[in-house]
Amino acid sequence: MIEIFNKNDLLQIKSENNLIYIDIIKKEIKIWDYLVNFPWEYEKSWILLEIKEFENKLFYSFLIEQKVVFVLFEDNFEQKEEIMSFFWDIDILLVTWTKEAVKIVENIESRVIIPFWDAKDIFLNTLWQHKEEVENFKLKQEIWIENTEFINLK
């Protein structure tokens, strides 16, 4: 099971034996206490993480319990094939809320999209998604979603 929740401006991804912290303000990610902040392929506590750098921006792709979780802090990059090919088979996309991010999300296929930041409601409304806020999102098994599901975390 994967659980995602927001606590004190830290998005947290919790699985059976792991905890990932996503600092929304600093745009940093930690697996437990290990800061992952440069392009590389990591493996820690049964989590596979690949960080790619394009246009001096970092893009994060996790494999957690056979699910691909992608974290997109950036919204200002050219949607070239080289970059967009990194966005494939995404189960859960965590994305900033800006108008530019809406254009990016429209070109990425993801089963679940969770916007974050203060004005995430603008993002959801722009995409005609009027979702009630929830405390957390739990994914217990396979995602069998025909259309993308949007989650509005508190």
Report mean pLDDT in 10-residue bins for the chain, 154 residues: 90 92 92 92 89 93 92 85 85 82 81 81 74 87 72 85
pLDDT of res. 28: 93
The C-alpha atoms of residue 101 and residue 8 are separated, in whole angstroms, by 23
* Coil, helix or strand at residue 135: coil
Q: What is the pTM of this model?
A: 0.87
Which pLDDT score, from 0 to 100, does residue 45 have?
81
Q: How far apart are CA 145 and CA 154, in angstroms?
A: 23
Q: Residue 56: its pLDDT value, please?
A: 92
37, 29 contact by CB (below 8 A): yes
Q: Are 90 and 110 in contact (CB under 8 A)?
A: yes
Q: Which structural domains are found in the chain, ordered by start?
A: 40-136+143-153 (3.60.15.10)
pLDDT of residue 142: 67
Helices then strands (H, E): number in the chain? 3, 15
Alpha helices in the chain (DSSP H): 81-84, 99-105, 120-126
